[in-house]
Amino acid sequence: MRKSVITLAVAVTVGLGTSLGGMPAKTEAASISKLKEEQNKIHEQRSDLNSDINQANDKITNLQDQQASVKSELKRLDLAISDAATKIDEQAAKIEETKAQIATLQEETKILKERIKKRNVLLKDRARSYQDTGGMVNYLDVLMGSTSFSDFIDRANAVATIMQADQDILKQHEADKNELEEKQTQVEKELASLKKMLADLETMNKQLTAQKAEKDKLLGSLESQEHEAHEGMLDLKEQEEILAAQEISIQKTIKLEQERQAKEAAAAAAAAAAKKKAAASSNSGSSSNSSSPSAAAPQVSSGSFTRPAPGVVTSGYGGRWGSFHWGVDIAQSGNNVPIVAAADGVVSVAHYSSSYGNVVYISHSINGQVYTTVYAHMSGYQVSPGQTVSKGQRIGTMGNTGDSHGQHLHFELYKGPWAYHSAINPIGIVPI
Ligand SMILES: [Zn+2]
């Protein structure tokens, strides 16, 4: 959209190349109509800029809405991630606990199995010795050794008790062993399920983190887009300010041009009348006396401009440091170095710009051609918008404000009204 503005501005500038010739009155009338045409074109540029600014504002609002929604999504993701992290910690703690339980159970099972094994050996030995001695010899020995029936009963009971005890021990050991194994299986199952849950949580956490990174990236891109939109808009805003101010100064230039033309016409008429009167009344003088310098002298372009500042040219117009230098730099050390208007004109802008520092723009109408001069990086200025200035009149002091390295004047010349990046080389027009 900026391009269209530049194109328009260039079109205006190109359309202004006036060639003076023929009858002066006609040319001057033409120059007035051209100035008016120019004013209309500036008005059109302003409308274009306004719609560009509105578009930029809409874009910014839209980007800000998108950012707000991404931010709320990021907040939700942050909460989900911290929730997942808490659950992961809990699961990990549970797993550690379960693992400790399993280790204890394994130790207990080992000891118990060892005991069972020893018992089994013992019981087997006993059973083998029964067989070797023909069945329940040991028990029978015990029984046969009884001295009376009641002794026999006692001994039989004792044998039965011992046998039962053996059986009970064996059963108990079996039960213990089964219980332990069951417990171990159960705990291992629990561990497997915990591990699966942990893995699921970790996967979820990974997904959330990836989502968050993506949203972060999106937010970053939206923010940088907004920044760019702002920069573009600020640029346009400054342009709009300058164009608006220019409209006023060009109006005033038209008025001054009209007044000057009226004055010239009156002076020419007076001179013609005087000449006629002189010719009629006397015959001697002829034309040698009639040279009144202000009346008949045509406006000249050479001599219309003067050097805007004392000092040396440190940088000319054109390509520099891989970019384009749209003006000429003139440097002079010392305090209070004066900056003067390069030609008669009307101040359109006198303000502070982040790039140009303290800067003054002046509209000129020279020979029916509008020029604009720009004086940048001044330490201060002493003119205000709308003020009429004359060639060589002090407008400010050389300085080092804005995007500048060292005290100097950055001077720009435009053929026609100011338009972004359309300054011309002043060498050959302004005596620098
Ligand atoms: Zn410069």
Q: Are residues 204 and 338 in the same domain?
A: no
Give, in degrees to the nearest 5, the angle at Cα 296 between 293 and 299: 90
Distances in Å between the alpha carbon of 223 and those of 69, 76, 228?
A: 13, 20, 9
When computed from its CA atoms, the radius of gyration of the chain, rounded to whole angstroms, is 53
Specify the pLDDT at position 27. Answer: 65
Residue 172 lies in a domain: yes
Specify the pLDDT at position 26. Answer: 61
Q: How far is the CA of 50 from the centre of ligand 1 (A)?
A: 29
Reported as a pLDDT band with limits 50, 70 and 90, residue 382 is very high
Residue 327 lies in a domain: yes
Q: How far is the CA of 328 from the centre of ligand 1 (A)?
A: 6
Specify the pLDDT at position 359. Answer: 94
Q: How far is the CA of 301 from the centre of ligand 1 (A)?
A: 25
Q: Which residue has the higher pLDDT, 25 or 384?
A: 384
Q: Are residues 210 and 116 in the same domain?
A: yes
Q: 407 near 333, Cβ under 8 Å?
A: yes
Last residue of a domain, one of 247, 262, 281: 247
Q: How far is the CA of 406 from the centre of ligand 1 (A)?
A: 11
Specify the pLDDT at position 298. Answer: 22
Q: How far is the CA of 140 from the centre of ligand 1 (A)?
A: 128
Q: 257 near 365, Cβ under 8 Å?
A: yes
Q: What are phi and psi of 284, to 5 degrees?
A: -80, -55
Q: How far is the CA of 408 from the centre of ligand 1 (A)?
A: 8
Distance CA 308, CA 288 (A): 38
Specify the pLDDT at position 304. Answer: 87
Distances in Å between the alpha carbon of 279 and those of 291, 315, 328?
A: 14, 58, 53
158 CB contacts (<8 Å, ≥6 apart)?
142
Residue 372 lies in a domain: yes
Q: How far is the CA of 420 from the centre of ligand 1 (A)?
A: 15
Reported as a pLDDT band with limits 50, 70 and 90, residue 19 is very low
Q: Are residues 119 and 233 in the same domain?
A: yes
- Predicted confidence (pLDDT) per residue in 36-85, tens digit: 888 888 888 778 877 777 777 787 788 889 888 988 888 888 888 888 88
Residue 283 lies in a domain: no
Last residue of a domain, one of 208, 228, 247: 247
The residue behind tokens 């059986």 is 167
| CATH code of 152's domain | 1.10.287
Q: Which residue has the higher pLDDT, 166 or 150?
A: 150
3-state SS record for the chain: CHHHHHHHHHHHHHCCCCCCCCCHHHHHHHHHHHHHHHHHHHHHHHHHHHHHHHHHHHHHHHHHHHHHHHHHHHHHHHHHHHHHHHHHHHHHHHHHHHHHHHHHHHHHHHHHHHHHHHHHHHHHHHHHHHHHCCCCHHHHHHHHCCCCHHHHHHHHHHHHHHHHHHHHHHHHHHHHHHHHHHHHHHHHHHHHHHHHHHHHHHHHHHHHHHHHHHHHHHHHHHHHHHHHHHHHHHHHHHHHHHHHHHHHHHHHHHHHHHHHHHHHHHHHHHHHHHHHHHHHHCCCCCCHHHCCHHHHCCCCCCCCCCCCCCCEEEECCEEECCEEECCEEEECCCCCCEEECCCCEEEEEEEEECCCEEEEEEEEEECCEEEEEEEEEECEECCCCCCEECCCCEEEECECCCCCCCCEEEEEEEECCCCCCCCECCECCECC
Reported as a pLDDT band with limits 50, 70 and 90, residue 389 is very high
Residue 52 lies in a domain: yes
Specify the pLDDT at position 323. Answer: 64
Mean pLDDT of the chain: 78
- Mean pLDDT confidence for 140-164: 77
Residue 39 lies in a domain: yes
Q: Are residues 231 and 90 in the same domain?
A: yes
What is the domain extent for residue 376?
A: 305-432
Residue 119 lies in a domain: yes
Q: Are residues 171 and 311 in the same domain?
A: no
| CATH code of 431's domain | 2.70.70.10
Structure tokens at 73: 């999504």
79 CB contacts (<8 Å, ≥6 apart)?
none
Q: How far is the CA of 231 from the centre of ligand 1 (A)?
A: 22
Q: How far is the CA of 128 from the centre of ligand 1 (A)?
A: 116
Residue among 161, 164, 158 nearest 145 (CA): 158
Specify the pLDDT at position 350. Answer: 96
Specify the pLDDT at position 320. Answer: 57
Q: Which residue has the higher pLDDT, 70 or 257?
A: 70
First to last CA, the chain: 35
- Predicted confidence (pLDDT) per residue in 314-352, tens digit: 989 987 555 678 899 999 999 999 999 999 999 999 998
Distance CA 169, CA 166 (A): 5
Q: How far is the CA of 222 from the centre of ligand 1 (A)?
A: 34
Q: How far is the CA of 395 from the centre of ligand 1 (A)?
A: 18
Distance CA 83, CA 77 (A): 10
Q: How far is the CA of 356 from the centre of ligand 1 (A)?
A: 9
Q: How far is the CA of 367 from the centre of ligand 1 (A)?
A: 28
Reported as a pLDDT band with limits 50, 70 and 90, residue 412 is very high
Residue 140 lies in a domain: yes
148 pLDDT higher than 70: yes
Q: Are residues 171 and 67 in the same domain?
A: yes
- Total residue length of the chain: 432
Query: 428 has which bridge partners?
Result: none
- Mean pLDDT confidence for 132-156: 71
Distance CA 320, CA 330 (A): 16
Give, in degrees to the nearest 5, the angle at Cα 298 between 295 and 304: 115
Q: How far is the CA of 307 from the centre of ligand 1 (A)?
A: 15
Q: How far is the CA of 232 from the centre of ligand 1 (A)?
A: 22
Last residue of a domain, one of 231, 247, 263: 247
Q: How far is the CA of 88 from the centre of ligand 1 (A)?
A: 62
- Mean pLDDT confidence for 354-381: 91
Q: Which residue has the higher pLDDT, 1 or 200?
A: 200
Q: How far is the CA of 161 from the centre of ligand 1 (A)?
A: 118
Structure tokens at 392: 């060589």
Q: Which residue has the higher pLDDT, 360 or 241?
A: 360
The count of structural domains within the chain is 2
Q: How far is the CA of 404 from the centre of ligand 1 (A)?
A: 8
